[in-house]
Amino acid sequence: MHKELNLFRQLVVILFERHRKAYDDPPANVRAILEQISNKYTRFADSAALENVLPTDDHRSSDFKEVMQFLYLRPIQSGTPTIPVVSLKADFTRSLPQVRIRLALFLLNDKGEIRSQGYRYETPEGPGYGRHDYYHVQPIRVLYRDRPGFQLPTPAWFLDSHPAWPVDAQGPVCLLLSLLISLYGLDFRNELLAYPMASMLKGHIGRTHCLTLPPASFWKVECGREEFHYATHHDRQAFENFCASTHLPRHRKTSITAAEYVALPERSQLIC
């Protein structure tokens, strides 16, 4: 059994199951986008169909393009309302699996016209000597070059070969995790850890840098009649030195919990 393949597959299926509910009764701003993209980007609506086009131990390569259906991830409502639409191509027959995740972010401009930004999250394209032989994400203007009408509603001058940002991944699962964190932020880690395969995902999360910052310590510093609250990655001595030089002439510091720190008004959450 190919462990990476199976975890990748499970993760895609659970994403579908959890995220499709967002499209059962979407808010008006999401519906306005849906109305313009649904005919072109047919959404997977049944997990059986999705499972049939994901790689398996028996058939290790697959491509959503074959069936012309797309995975709709949960709409993003912070900032500009956006619908993330994903197409996957995977080949786990290689010693270093090749996965290409095409992501189209659809939104409306201020005239209500559909617009998009597209990105391609990819494993290394070659053995290590080519320009894009590393885990990376790059902008795209066309989702499928060999099918009609898959030019995204993106400005023609939008760059599509660079920058190809390095991605914090060592395999297909981490590549997908990177995509999810880039869309939904660090909070998405909590959703991942609530999935049935969380114990397996933890190992992958542990290998990333973006999801594994060293733990901070939290402090309340009293100086005169004022109180200051800090989060810091300094060790105890370095933080003491910082306080001694900052809070003159005398200060008193007490350890607090992360919850106490986060509960403070944002302007009071100091970082050093």
Partner 1 sequence: MKMQKILVLDDENTLGSHHIGQLNKLPGFQKKFAAKAVTPQDFKTILDTLENRRAQARKAEPTAFKDSCLLDDAAILIVDYDLLSLKSTGVMTGENVAYLARCFSRCGFILGINQFGVNPFDLTLKGHPESFADLNIGSEQLDNPGLWAEPWKGFRPWAWPLIPQALDSFERRVVELRKCMDQHILACLGIPDVVAKLLPRSATEFITKGSTPAETTFQDFVLHSGNGLLGRLDRTSEECNVRIAAARIAKWLERFVLTGQDILVDAPHLAVRYPSLLKGSKSNTSSFDRTASFDKPAELGIHHEKISSALFPKPNWLSRPAWFWPTLSSLSTIDEVRDPWKTKQPELAFCEDISRFKPKAKCHEFVADIPSPFARRHVAKVSNVDYRPEVRFSL
Q: How far is the CB of 198 from partner 1 (least distance, A)?
A: 25
Measured from the CB atom, the residue of 33 and 175 that comes closer to partner 1 is: 33
User: Min. distance of Cβ 35 from partner 1 in angstroms?
Assistant: 7
Max CA pair span of the chain: 72
Minimal distance, residue 141 CB to partner 1, in Å: 13
User: Nearest approach, Cβ of 113 to partner 1 (angstroms)?
Assistant: 8
Please, which residue, 53 or 101, has the CB nearer to partner 1?
A: 53
CA gap 143, 1 in Å, rounded: 31
The candidate with the shortest Cα–Cα distance to 175, out of 98, 83, 266, is: 98
For the bound state, the minimum distance from the C-beta of residue 107 to partner 1, rounded and expressed in Å, comes to: 13
Place of tokens 């080519």: 130
Whether the CA torsion 243, 244, 245, 248 is positive or negative: it is positive
Cβ contacts of 256 within 8 Å, gap of 6 or more: 218, 219, 220, 229
Closest CA to 99 of 84, 119, 118, 121: 121
Distance of alpha carbon 70 from alpha carbon 88, whole angstroms: 8
The residue among 114 and 256 lying less far from partner 1, judged by its C-beta, is 114
Q: Which is nearer to partner 1, 47 or 161 (CB)?
A: 47
Instruction: Closer to partner 1 by CB, 39 or 245: give it.
Output: 39
Binding site for partner 1 (CB under 8 A): 23-25, 35-36, 38-40, 42-49, 52-53, 66-69, 114, 147-149, 153
